Structure 1
Amino acid sequence: MSAPDPWSTMPSIPLSVPDVLAVERAESTYFRRFLDHAAPEDRARLGIRTAAVRDGVATVVTADPSRYWTKAMGFGPDAPVDDALVADVVAFSRAAGAAQGTLAIAPLALPVDWSAICEHHALVAASTWSKYACSVTEVVPGRTDLPVRPLTVDDVPGWARIIREAFGMTDPDLTPMLRGAVEDPVAQVFGAFDGDLLVGAGALYVVDGVGSLNTGGTLPTHRRRGVQSALLAARAAAAADSGCRLLTAETGGSDDDPSARNLVRAGFVRAYHRVNWTWTA
């Protein structure tokens, strides 16, 4: 018997096939742009390589011990997932210096022979993440007693500190890539301040009418003050001004994960689970 679904108590909403593809495309676009906009010296130091693979993307960061940034995603029915696609992803990643990586594929894009493909390429289901979605008009505004405003490049060191503490990007330090996100015209980054101190921040990438919310965190000293809820609201307003109709975010935690609770309070509903399939050379 299979293990019970750890998210079974969370309500879900159906997304149309075009909406799921748009959500996946928004994430894959953000993921690649985040890496591509790093300074050339950081790309060389971290071993960053990116490529288009059919209608998706593949990325490699050889210096990242977590292998989070060595990933392929954004695939869908317009360019079906098959054995050859997996082979292309693995070949690119190995040529770029990766010995292990992940394929993140929406459930509706998995082919009927996926089990055979997994066996052929020794793919293993490593973890499951949840995708959340919300209409841009249905976001529940959050509040904090701290002022929230867009970040500039001068705020990047403060944002880097937050992300290092939230995600452990310390060895190696991946936070120099954050400057590229602030300078990217597709992205908007907002922060909450306590005086001159940046205490929380989060990014928004707008891609084809979908706003991808990501790279958010709050200093431990300022949690439970509504910082992330207010940042969600600020990014939702910016997404609406940019013509977005749908917002999306993801979390790897359960119903009790703080990120999931923040999303649900803001009006987001779980749309689907997506398995991270790991290959090893």
Structure 2
Amino acid sequence: MINRTDHTPLFCDIELAGRIERAEAQFIAACSDAARRRSEQAGFALPIAGGVASYAEPDSPLNKVAGLGFAGPADPADLERIEHAYAGRGAPVQAEVASLADPALLDLLAERGYRLVSFENVLGRALIDVAATVPPPGIDVRPSGDDEFGAWLAVVVEASLHPDTQGVPWHEDFPREILENAERDAAGLVQRYLARLDGVPAGGGSMHLADGIAQLTGAGTAPAFRRRGIQSALLSTRLADAAAAGCDIAVITVQPGSRSQQNAQRRGFDLLYTRAVLTIDPRPAALRP
């Protein structure tokens, strides 16, 4: 466990935030590309303002605009183009805007009628002197191969369908089938980890490595196995592997005030910045639900 009295908080400037947001945009774009190959639907991943506008399929968590605001001012014509693309798929636009992005971006989105619906926190920690801690008795965390994909997918999706109630809740709910599709689309891009308790699959997580950044792209514990140390074990193992792979920073996205944020801060993570989640429905009023 990290000794907080010896911990120097990680400072995030605009350059570091831009690096993290670019990695996020590239990851979302790659997942969106995988979704199109899987389903042959008319999805898209369109570049905009240094980020990406992604659409995978109806109700997908990959339907978002990510990473924008770090490559010069956004062009209103580009926003109109992506709004038209989402409207053509019968979907709203959801833009995630980092608090360190170009402030003019928020003004532009407000002028176009975007509405603030939620926030999410991006936490990070430098990967210096990182070693996996010994998990509690009975817990075993290991990288998960293709032969265990079914078990990994089942436990991760089950955890997502029953989120923790501490802190600000997610503003979206996704059907089981859509969550399974999103995890399959990301499967070839991430390192997967399966946690077992006394030999039984109890939790799972994943990690994406890019540009020296270890993106902790999700972790969950099945409801029956919570409060047993599984999340902490998953986090510790991934941090040690990220450091061994040569990454200099690890990042995780959490809901404000959540148990995931609490667990990450206990492991030495600091709040780097917040993302505002804004949305607009570009469809004609008669076609909106």
Q: Does 1:225 find its partner at 2:228?
A: yes
Deviations 1:177-205 (A, max 9, x none): 43443333xx2111112355321111111
Distance 2:242 2:10 in 1: 21
Q: In 1, Cα distance between the equivalents of 2:91 and 2:181?
A: 24
Q: Structure 2: which amino acid aligns with 1:91?
A: H
| Count of aligned residue pairs for this structure pair | 261
Aligned to 2:136: 144
Match of 2:126 among 129, 135, 150: 135
Q: Does 122-131 or 27-36 show the bigger shift?
A: 27-36
Does structure 1 conserve the Cα–Cα contact (< 8 Å) formed by 2:209 and 2:215?
yes
Contact 2:49/2:74 (8 A) holds in 1: no
Check the 8 A contact 1:58/1:71 in 2, yes or no. yes
2:56 aligned residue (61, 66, 85): 61
**Residues 140 and 265 in structure 1, CA contact (< 8 A), matched pair in contact too:** no
Confirm whether residue 31 of structure 1 aligns to residue 28 of structure 2: yes
Find the partner of 1:161 among 123, 144, 154.
154
Summarize the Cα distance change of 1:220–1:90 in structure 2 as closer, same or farther, 3 Å threshold.
same
CA distance in 1, matches of 2:209, 2:192: 11
Tell me, in whole angstroms, the C-alpha distance in 2 between the residues paired with 1:164 and 1:262. Answer: 20
Cα gap change, 1:42/1:157 in structure 2, threshold over 3 Å: closer, same or farther?
A: farther
Aligned 1:146-225 pairs, distance under 5 A: 146-168=139-161, 169-184=174-189, 187-194=190-197, 196-225=199-228
Change (3 A) 1:160 1:170: farther
Shift of 1:144: 3.3
TM value normalised by structure 2: 0.80
- What is the TM-score of this pair, normalised by structure 1? 0.82
- Separation in 2, partners of 1:113, 1:193: 44
Alpha-carbon separation, structure 2, partners of 1:190 and 1:128: 27
Confirm or deny: 8 A CA contact 1:212 1:248 kept in the other structure: yes
Residue of structure 2 in register with 1:5 after alignment:
none
Q: Is the 8 A contact 1:39 1:180 kept in 2?
A: no
Instruction: Name which of structure 1's ranges 134-143 and 236-245 shifts more when overlaid on structure 2.
Output: 134-143
Percent of aligned pairs with the same residue? 25
Answer whether contact 2:61 2:182 (CA < 8 A) is retained: no
- Residue pairs, 1:87-98, within 5 angstroms: 87-95=80-88, 97-98=89-90
Structure 1 window deviating more from structure 2 (105-114 vs 155-164): it is 105-114
Q: Which runs of 5+ in 1 are unaligned?
A: 1-10
1:234 aligns with 237
> Please, which moves more after superposition, 133-142 or 257-266?
133-142
Name the SS of the counterpart of 1:148 in structure 2. Answer: strand
SS in 1 for 2:71: coil
Q: What is the alpha-carbon distance in structure 1 between the residues aligned to residue 250 and residue 34 of structure 2?
A: 23
Q: CA deviation at 1:28?
A: 1.9
Cα shift readout 1:7-65 (whole Å, capped 9, x = no counterpart): xxxx9753122211111122222222233234734353xx643233342111113421x
What stretches of structure 2 of length at least 5 have no aligned partner? 1-7, 162-173, 283-289
* C-alpha distance in structure 1 between counterparts of 2:22 and 2:130, whole Å: 22
Q: Deviations over 1:126-158 (max 9, x none)?
A: 101111010011658553331111111222222
1:36 corresponds to which letter in structure 2? D
CA deviation map 1:66-107 (0-9, x unaligned): x63321111233233343342233233233x04312111212
Mean alpha-carbon deviation: is it higher for 224-233 or for 160-169?
Answer: 160-169
Give the secondary structure class of the aligned counterpart of 1:175.
helix
Q: Distance in 2 between matches of 1:19 and 1:138?
A: 21
CA contact (8 A) 2:132 2:240 kept: no
Q: 1:201 to 1:268 in 2, by over 3 A?
A: same
The residue aligned with 1:78 is 71
Identify the range of structure 1 (85-94 vs 152-161) with the bigger mean alpha-carbon deviation.
85-94
Instruction: Identify the residue that residue 277 of structure 1 maps to in structure 2.
Output: 278
Residue 111 (str. 1) matches residue 103 (str. 2): yes
SS in 2 for 1:50: strand
Range moving further from structure 2, 30-39 or 219-228: 30-39
Deviations 1:221-254 (A, max 9, x none): 2111211111111111221122110110111232
**Letter of the structure 1 residue corresponding to residue 51 of structure 2:** G
